[in-house]
Amino acid sequence: MNTKSMLFVAAACALMASCSPVEGEMPTLGNPVLPGYFADPSVVQLNGTYYLYATADPWGTEFLSCWTTDDFHNWEWHKLNWPTKQACTSSLSNENMVWAPSVVERNGQYFMYVSVGSEVWCGKAASPLGPWENALGDKPLIPADTTMYYHVIDAEAFIDDDGKAYLYWGSGWNWTNGHCYVAELGDDMCSFTGEPREVTPTHYFEGPFMLKRGGKYFLTYSEGKTIDSTYEVRYAVGDNPFGPFTEAANSPILNTHEDLKVYGPGHHTVVTCGGKDYILYHKHRLPYVEGTAYRQTCIAPLEIVGDTISTIMPLGESSFPLADRLASAWIEPSSVEASSECADFTAQCAFDKSNGTRWQAAEGDSTATLTAKFAGKVVIDTVRILPEYPWKQYYLKVAASQDNGESWTEVADYTGQGIAGSPILVPVGDECDAVKVEFAPADSTAAVPSLWEVKFQGKVR
CB 116 within 8 A of CB 149: no
pLDDT in tens, 19-54: 334 446 889 999 999 999 999 999 999 999 999 999
Mean pLDDT of the region 111-135 = 98
**Which strand ranges, in their side-by-side order, compose the sheet holding 276-284?**
266-273, 276-284, 295-302
Whole-angstrom distance, CA of residue 98 vs CA of residue 118: 9
Q: How confident is the model at residue 146 (pLDDT cuts 50, 70, 90)?
A: confident
List, as one string, the DSSP characters of 350-401.
GGSS-TT--EEPPTT-TT-EEEEEEEEEEEEEEEEEEES-TTS-B-EEEEEE
Whole-angstrom distance, CA of residue 228 vs CA of residue 231: 7
Please identify which of the residues 40, 71, 223, 341 carries the catalytic annotation.
Answer: 40
SS (H, E, C) 36-78: CCEEEEEEEEECCEEEEEEEECCCCECEEEEEEECCCCCCEEE
Report pLDDT for 16.
38
pLDDT in tens, 274-284: 999 999 999 99
Question: Which secondary-structure segment (H or E) carries 328?
Answer: none
Check residue 189 and report its DSSP letter: S
CB 55 within 8 A of CB 100: yes
Could you tell me the pTM of the whole model?
0.93
Other CB atoms within a 10 A radius of the CB of residue 179 amount to 20
pLDDT at 4 over 60: no
Mean per-residue pLDDT of the chain: 93
Whole-angstrom distance, CA of residue 153 vs CA of residue 156: 9
CB 140 within 8 A of CB 88: yes
Please identify which of the residues 57, 206, 223, 388 carries the catalytic annotation.
Answer: 206
Q: Which domains does the chain have, with CATH numbers?
A: 27-319 (2.115.10.20), 327-460 (2.60.120.260)
Three-state DSSP class for residue 329:
helix
List, as one string, the DSSP characters of 275-323.
TEEEEEEEEE-SS--TT---EEEEEEEE-EETTEEPPP---SEEE-S--
Pairing of strands 156-159, 133-134: unpaired
pLDDT in tens, 237-273: 999 999 999 999 999 999 999 999 999 999 999 999 9
Report pLDDT for 460.
87
Other CB atoms within a 10 A radius of the CB of residue 213 amount to 14
Whole-angstrom distance, CA of residue 59 vs CA of residue 96: 8
CB 442 within 8 A of CB 367: no
Beta bridge partners of 134: 123
Q: Determine whether 133 is an active site residue.
A: no
Least confident interval from 144-153, 422-431, 433-442: 144-153
Q: How confident is the model at residue 148 (pLDDT cuts 50, 70, 90)?
A: confident
pLDDT in tens, 330-384: 999 999 999 999 999 999 999 999 999 999 999 999 899 999 999 999 999 999 9
Question: Which secondary-structure segment (H or E) carries 459?
Answer: strand 450-460
CB 434 within 8 A of CB 336: no
Pairing of strands 109-116, 98-106: antiparallel
Mean pLDDT of the region 3-9 = 39
Share of the chain above pLDDT 70, in %: 95
Give 3-state DSSP helix, strand, coil % of the chain, rounded to 5.
5, 45, 50
Q: Determine whether 206 is an active site residue.
A: yes
